[in-house]
Structure 1
Amino acid sequence: MSRRGRKGWRRAASRALALGVWGVVAALLGLAVFAYDLPDVNRAFRPTRAPSIIVLAADGTELARVGEIWGRPVPLHEMAPELPLAVVATEDRRFFQHFGLDLLGLARAALANLRAGRAVQGGSTITQQLAKNLFLTPERTWKRKIQEAMLAFWLERRFDKEEILTVYLNRVYLGAGTYGVDAAAKRYFDAGARELSLYQSALLAGLLKAPSRFNPLSSPERAHARAVQVLENMAALGFVTEDEVRKLDLSERPARARARATEATAKPSARYLAEWVIDQLSDFVAVGDRDLRVETSVDSRLQGAAEAAVARALEAKTPGGPEQAALVALAPSGAVKALVGGRDFGQSQFNRATQARRQPGSAFKPVVYLAALEAGLSPEARFVDGPFSIAGYSPRNYEGTYAGEVTVAEAVARSINTVAVQVAVETGLARVVEMARRLGLGDEFEAEASLALGTAEVTLLDLVQAYA
């Protein structure tokens, strides 16, 4: 090598070394900046009392006060043995191998997200989730993610895997206002964490991905499908055998567990409303160990009138009449003014205003006509009210009679079924489905002709909100 070549190599090596040193210094300074305002890690392990949640009407009337939504701390060895395994199999299958961050999991999630063109997988470990739940706020920033990683490292050095998993399972939010597996087990199954079956353990583990979406009380079929996925994950990792999964009674559903310990201190009849309000909290605030006062738009006078109206209707005891009823009253803005979910919350916690799905029938027709008018259809446009078929579907009018040629305005006024279907088809069923989605009726409707006559199921609250 020539003298000039050796000098060039030395200069390049010196520059690389200098860059490396400055890179290390910059990294250390960066870590120091992120570590400067890390929270006090010791405070997270101090005993805390259960929070209190007070639900208020718009005029300040107390509708309900809720306490003890945190279950008692349960050591890992006192839980059903399948429960921690179900959580690990679903949330962090390399939990017992990684050091707080799962680099393979992060790479796998990044690849899946890149292929999908959107976020379909997360790479957070159980330790990272615990760090976020214990120490950090819900905001999503790069600074918070780096602090989350630093705290995960600290947790892994300070505690063993069993301790980390124990704290996580006793702190995590599991829907329906419950924190920790003991509270969730009581809420969904009226049982302790020790008494859970394999299927029930899988169902609780499935809640972690999206507690509201997979709530077994409001969405039992969705929760069941998620539980089956958890069982498949467990079998794939050898936590259970495929034979054990096959022998399970997968028709099992969550028992109608007793309601959360709620006392309606102002109006006992407001329990359905109060429970629904509390279930929405996690979508708006980070519910921790602090007390909350939830101010709602509910009119206490209208709420009382609604409860009385439902009670009178059910007390009439008409032969063949309804056993249950629901009522929703909204302001034009969509704010809830009154909500009744059934006859007696003590006998049945199933909220028929927010959970029961029914076919709206002719109440859906305005959605069809709104989509049509938006697409340019004139109220004076003419259609023939008569028998016809489309793709094997033959709509009929309620009375079985037909009026011949009518305008759209006449068809709306007389609620003519055949014209509603023709208008939906001419407008485009996809447009009708999109209009239903825009009005808040859901996004899972099938684009078929019978949709025009309200065959798709919706909740009462969604239907009333669409009209509001």
Structure 2
Amino acid sequence: MTKRGGRRREADTKARKRDKRERGWPGRLKRLALWTGVLAVLGAICLGLAVTFAMRSLPGYHQLKATQVGQTIVVRARDGTEIVELGPSYGRWLDYNEIPQVMKDAMISVEDRRFYSHFGVDPIGLSRAVVVWVTGDRRLGATSTITQQLARNLFLNSNRTIDRKAREALLAMAMEMKFSKEQILELYLNKVYFGGGAYGVDSASRRFFSHPATELSTAEAAIIAGLVKAPSRYAPTADVDAAVGRASVVLRLMREQGRISPSEAAVDISAVNLKEEVSQNSVRYFTDYVLPQLDLLLPETFEPIEVWTTLDVGMQRAATAAIQANTPDGAQGALVSLDRDGAILALVGGTDYVETNYNRATNALRQPGSAWKLFVYLAALESGYTPDDLVVDTPVTIDGWSPRNSNGQYAGEIDVRSAFAYSKNTVAAQLGNEVGFGTVASMAKRFGITTSISTFPAMVLGSSEVRVIDMTRAFAAVSAKGQSVEPYGIVKVTAADGTELYRQPRRTAKALVPDYVAAGITDLLQTTVNTGTGRAAQIGRPVAGKTGTTNSNKDGWFLGFSSGITTGVWMGRDDARAVRGLQGGTAPARAFAAFMRHAVKDRPVEEFDTEVKLPEWQLEPDDEYLFGEPDDYYFIDEQGNLIEPGGSREPGSLPFPVEGEQAPGTIVDPTGAIRPAPAPAPRAVDENFLDEATRSAPRQTQGAALRREDAPRSRQERGVRVIEIPQN
């Protein structure tokens, strides 16, 4: 019993010791290790399942090759040269074997030295990054392999969150399971962003070195590989020194990893020939104006396209220089130049696109000042005035408004030509009042002004706001001898393979005013430059144009044409504050001249057609001009009956009643004697003709003369002067 009891006590003691050990640290560690192993196995199973499912959901290799992140638009000038490339550029897709080995080695050395040995995630690199993070760096970085970067570029955003990093790692492992290392590296080198809109090594090589990636040298490959870390910071077009410094780091890593020899690592990176960067500053004003029009011209497409435009690169440079050199300090300037068919040759919307991309040439609304008188005088010439007609420059008041000339002086009786050349405000006011302010507004609309127009008397001096491109269009129509002109900037659009997607249609111009009106206004515009306010715009060949200055020198304009090119210049402040010394005949006229000397240098000198060939109705003798030929007119009596004068009227009798005491049924002859009137004509039978005739003549009153034949709408086409009969 004793032995048996002793054995039992010994066994109990051992059990208690064993339980104690299991409940202590050794037991806990054992259980922790066991559960850790179990969880690791379960985690591995879950991860494997997740990677498998992700792998099955990934697009195929050829699908990934075909995907793009945006549309590439290459904009070309009128001579076909590339002026700007917008959106992503992908270059040519290079197969793995076409990519130079030095390019592959450079990328692997700087971005993922263990690329060929890991499974999508680099445990060694990740561990190192975690240690750095734990020891003080608050940011967990430097953990992305080439495969992870490719997964992020293809499927994820760039948010630096744990969730995004986890999904990135999962997708990277799935890609490693689905694709070979060669396929992954090929996708990466053809899709990674290198800055400047360039995606892929071929696009980057063409963008920075002007040759395909198949011709990359060791130094060039090092520069491109160094861009991935920070494309905007290390781009050679942005900072050459930064690009060279980063490339030196790439070459050192390649040498340390045995991918190049020490002699290859010692190349002079600074000797690499970079592609000459053409300034895109002011060109962007033009592209900002024309490219949105593609939404209307083309069906929706995401394919790369080339846009062939009307822009002349040399003229654009000259326009930019003219605006920058002549615009007063603190002010802005804009310029639009059109060819005779409306093609935009140059467009500058400000002094510096980088500083402000607001396009003052196409968007800004400013008062044109005296440049608006173009429409006043067009209306006056169309109503019957000629450049040689006499007008009176004298103080006037119209509906309580009393305009004054800029110099406060009045010339008295002068001709229309001088009144326009010296920009006489009082004469413009009188002409506008005579022809009608609504008529002036209608003329401006006819010539392409798209903004709202006031019809108050002050409108004749340019109180309504306009756009530079609209005013330039109006002057271009005068240059085209009164034919309509519509500005355009896109000639055609082609796909990357050359397929034509759009071509500018041929437009048929329409006559806006008769030839003699266009000749007359050209006469006035030429005189303005020769002897008037626009003398600073002279360029050694015929120029026609008009100045414009608003109150307190807030705006200065000069618009004119020569040798088929029409150019409009505006200057002023964006906040509409006064600019000291700014007048249309100073800085704007000088900028116009500086640009036009370059613009027309290769064009033949063209003389203007200023011969005013008046229609017959304006060339008749005075009496006939006033009354017309008796056999060509009807007259309406007070009862609305048509009276045909002709041979039944006694010589010298007047075709209408005059003021004075006389018996009914009598007329007054030229000597003042009262004679019996001819027998009244019977009432007109054709009432439809009467209605049509009376409708066709503006401001028709009793006793007004009408043409016998059906009358066109304009007075010039009718060949008739409407006569208002004074009433007793």
TM-score, normalisation: structure 1: 0.52
> Does 1:83 pair with 2:84?
no
Residue 54 of structure 1, CA deviation: 7.8
Distance 1:82 1:339 in 2: 49
Larger-Rg structure? 2
Aligned CA distance change for structure 1 residues 118 and 253 (closer, same or farther; 3 Å): farther
How many residues align? The count is 292
Letter in 1 for 2:352: V
1:290-369 to 2 correspondences below 5 Å: 308=319, 310-313=321-324, 327-328=351-352, 336-337=357-358
Quote the residue 1:231 is aligned against: 251
Contact 1:203 1:226 in 2 (8 A): yes
Distance 2:245 2:85 in 1: 33
Distance 2:223 2:360 in 1: 29
Q: Deviations over 1:191-231 (max 9, x none)?
A: 11111111000000000110000010011110011111111
Quote the residue 1:160 is aligned against: 180
3-state SS of paired residue (2:149): helix
1:37-436 to 2 correspondences below 5 Å: 40-42=57-59, 45-46=62-63, 47-48=66-67, 51-52=70-71, 66=86, 69-113=89-133, 117-119=137-139, 122-246=142-266, 248-257=267-276, 268=283, 270=285, 308=319, 310-313=321-324, 327-328=351-352, 336-337=357-358
Distance 2:260 2:322 in 1: 50
Q: Deviations over 1:234-284 (max 9, x none)?
A: 1111111112222x2333144225779x9x9xx95537989xxxxxxxxxx
Letter in 1 for 2:241: E
Contact 2:55 2:177 in 1 (8 A): no
Distance 1:339 1:184 in 2: 34
Distance 1:146 1:339 in 2: 49
Aligned CA distance change for structure 1 residues 90 and 251 (closer, same or farther; 3 Å): same
Gaps of 5+ in 1: 56-62, 275-288, 293-304, 317-324, 341-468
3-state SS of paired residue (2:358): strand
Residue 337 of structure 1, CA deviation: 3.1
Moved more, 183-192 or 125-134: 125-134
Distance 2:172 2:360 in 1: 44
Contact 1:50 1:67 in 2 (8 A): no
Distance 2:98 2:198 in 1: 19
Aligned CA distance change for structure 1 residues 245 and 115 (closer, same or farther; 3 Å): same
Q: Deviations over 1:327-353 (max 9, x none)?
A: 4379xxx9753699xxxxxxxxxxxxx
Residue 41 of structure 1, CA deviation: 1.1
Distance 1:26 1:145 in 2: 17
Distance 1:72 1:255 in 2: 20
Distance 1:269 1:6 in 2: 84
Contact 1:69 1:177 in 2 (8 A): yes
Letter in 2 for 1:154: A
Gaps of 5+ in 2: 1-12, 75-82, 290-300, 305-315, 328-347, 362-728
TM-score, normalisation: structure 2: 0.35
Letter in 1 for 2:104: P
Of all paired residues, the percent bearing the same amino acid is 33
Aligned CA distance change for structure 1 residues 291 and 145 (closer, same or farther; 3 Å): farther
More helix by share: 1
Distance 1:214 1:306 in 2: 29
Quote the residue 2:14 is aligned against: 2
Q: RCO (CA 8 Å, sep 6+): is it higher in 1 or 2?
A: 1
Residue 109 of structure 1, CA deviation: 2.9
Quote the residue 1:376 is aligned against: none
Aligned CA distance change for structure 1 residues 339 and 163 (closer, same or farther; 3 Å): farther
| Alpha-carbon RMSD | 4.6
Contact 1:34 1:147 in 2 (8 A): no
